[in-house]
Structure 1
Amino acid sequence: MTVQTERPPSGPVDVVKRDESGPAGAGPRAASRLGALTPYLLLLPACAATVLLLGWPLLKDVLLSFQNLNMAQLIQHVTEWNGIDNYKEVLTGEDFWRVTLRSILFTAVNVVLTMILGALVGLLLARLGKRMRVTLMLGLVLAWAMPVVAATTVYQWLFAQRFGVVNWVLDKLGWHSMADYSWTSSQLSTFFVVTVLIVWQSIPFVAINLYAATTTIPGELYEAAALDGAGGWKSFTTVTLPFLRPFLYATTFLEIIWVFKAFVQVFAINGGGPDRLTEILPVYAYIEGVGNQHYGMGAAIAVLTILILLGLTAYYLRIVLKREEEEAGL
Structure 2
Amino acid sequence: MLARVIETIYWMARYLERAENIARLINVNSHLLLDLPKGISPGWEPLIDITGTRAQYLDLYNNFSESNVVAYLVTDIKSPASLRFALNAARENARTTRDVIPQEAWEQLNTLHFYASEYINYAQRKTKRFDYFNSIITYCQTINGLLADTMNRDAGYLFLQIGRYIERADMSSRIIDVRTTNLLNQNNHLEFHPFANIQWMSVLKSMTAYQMYRREVQVNISQEQVLTFLLKSKVFPRSIYFCIAEVARNTNPLPKSEAVLSLINQTLTSLLSKQASDLTQQSLHMYLDKIQVFLTQIGDKLDNTYFLSDRVQKTTAHQTASNINDAVSIT
Q: Output the TM-score relative to the length of structure 2.
A: 0.26
- The TM-score normalised by the length of structure 1 is 0.26
